[in-house]
């Protein structure tokens, strides 16, 4: 990418995010005794947010799917032992990486972008900015860069010294979970139905593999009939590249109408029974009037969706952070600093 394009991408983020940061008061967000603070790096690394935004901007320019992948990394981090960058740890003698879990294997991506951000931050302000905070900032910048809302990111998370592949398998909802199971998994994280429906709006960008929704096309485990909540012509269009067997890794847009734009098209797709994953569809047809009403609200009013999404992202980013003397600030996001 040319230097001009990189500068342009960077300026877009700065133009959108930083006016927001000064327009609203930004009190520290508390989680129990511990506090995150949007101004956490104001003195120790004042350029931290600009560095993250510029590298996310460059990555997004080089690969338009990357914004989605970075947004998802923050979610998969926060749902497992809190937002502590546990997802970024590689396997070692003492750690089994969460990258091997069912939700992440052959699916989670963007780790090289986080590495680049971390290396740049270590050069600018050594041992200061945590990997968990990088994930939170990159998720916000990715949303802004694709046309979604901005928000002020509370900061000061520290990084874990361990990972939990079991937590990753159990705590992150699966695409074939029922709506009650999904609601329970969100509730366990302190997130309610508004958070659930708003955050799932992330599926307005990014891709899914065939293996994540194949059962809807053929219902292999049930009566052999396809999922009738999926629009028949959409299902027919999906089948050639997602056959009964094979093609597991073939990619499909989660929102085929505006795949790279963060907007409320995801909810409009749901109303047309063109939500790709079963976990998307059940928001409307899973038997819960509250989730169905929110789908209709967000489909009709993008401003409300954006406002709720921003609030819920802050809430998700506050799941059980390590603060104070807990955890550490890793120098390399893939490894703990020492062997404990």
- Tell me the closest approach of the beta carbon of residue 90 to ligand HEM, in angstroms: 19
Give the binding site for ligand HEM (CB under 6 A).
65, 68-69, 71-72, 75, 107, 109, 173-175, 182, 199-200, 202-203, 205-209, 212, 254, 277, 279
Q: Find out whether 238 and 252 touch, Cβ atoms under 8 Å.
A: yes
Q: Give the tokens for residue 293.
A: 């009403």
Least CB distance to ligand HEM at residue 191 (A): 9
Question: Of 39, 43, 74, 76, which residue is the catalytic one?
Answer: 76
Q: Measured on CA atoms in the order 272, 276, 277, 279, is the torsion positive or negative?
A: negative
CA distance 73 to 117: 14
Q: Which residue's entry shows tokens 């929110």?
A: 294
Nearest residue (CB) to ligand HEM, 320 versus 326: 320
Among residues 203 and 274, whose Cβ is nearest to ligand HEM? 203
Q: Which is nearer to ligand HEM, 45 or 312 (CB)?
A: 312
**Residue 316 near residue 191, CB atoms below 8 Å:** yes
Q: Which is nearer to ligand HEM, 56 or 329 (CB)?
A: 56
Q: Shortest Cβ distance from residue 296 to ligand HEM (Å)?
A: 19
109/97 Cα distance (integer angstroms): 14
Closest approach, Cβ 85 to ligand HEM, in A, equals 16
CA gyration radius for the chain?
Answer: 20
Distant-in-sequence, close-in-space partners of 158: CB < 8 Å, separation ≥ 6: 84, 130, 132, 321, 322, 323, 324, 326, 327, 328, 329
Least Å distance, CB 88 to ligand HEM, is 15
Alpha-helical (H) ranges within the chain are: 3-23, 48-62, 66-78, 111-124, 131-145, 165-171, 179-187, 193-199, 214-218, 232-238, 265-271, 278-285, 289-300, 302-317
Q: Which is nearer to ligand HEM, 173 or 275 (CB)?
A: 173
Active site residue 127: no
Catalytic annotation, residues: 76
């Amino acid at each position: 990418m040319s230097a001009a394009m990189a500068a342009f991408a960077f300026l877009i983020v700065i133009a959108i995010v930083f006016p927001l940061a000064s327009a609203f008061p930004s009190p520290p967000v508390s989680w129990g005794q511990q506090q995150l603070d949007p101004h956490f790096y104001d003195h120790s690394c004042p350029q931290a947010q600009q560095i993250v935004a510029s590298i996310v901007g460059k990555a997004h320019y080089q690969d338009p799917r990357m914004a989605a992948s970075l947004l998802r990394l923050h979610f998969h981090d926060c749902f497992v032992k809190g937002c502590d960058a546990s997802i970024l740890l590689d396997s070692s003698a003492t750690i089994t990486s969460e990258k091997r879990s069912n939700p992440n294997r052959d699916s989670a991506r963007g780790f090289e972008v986080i590495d680049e951000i971390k290396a740049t931050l270590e050069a600018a302000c050594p041992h200061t900015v945590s990997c968990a905070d990088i994930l939170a900032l990159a998720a916000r910048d990715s949303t802004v860069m694709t046309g979604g809302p901005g928000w002020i990111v509370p900061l000061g998370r520290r990084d874990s010294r361990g990972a939990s592949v079991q937590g990753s398998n159990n705590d992150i909802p699966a695409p074939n979970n029922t709506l009650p199971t999904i609601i329970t998994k969100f509730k366990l994280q302190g997130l309610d139905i508004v958070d659930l429906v708003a955050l799932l709006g992330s599926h307005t960008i990014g891709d899914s593999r065939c293996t994540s929704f194949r059962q809807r096309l053929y219902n292999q485990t049930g009566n052999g009939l396809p999922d009738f909540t999926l629009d028949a012509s959409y299902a027919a269009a999906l089948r050639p590249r997602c056959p009964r067997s094979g093609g597991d890794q073939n990619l499909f847009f989660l929102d085929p109408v505006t795949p790279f734009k963060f907007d409320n098209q995801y909810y409009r797709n749901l109303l047309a029974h063109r939500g790709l994953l079963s976990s998307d569809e059940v928001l409307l047809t899973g038997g819960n009037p509250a989730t169905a009403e929110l789908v209709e609200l967000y489909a009709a009013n993008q401003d409300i969706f954006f406002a709720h999404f921003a609030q819920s992202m802050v809430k998700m980013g506050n799941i059980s952070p390590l603060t104070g003397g807990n955890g550490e600030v890793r120098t390399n996001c893939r490894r703990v600093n020492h062997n404990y």
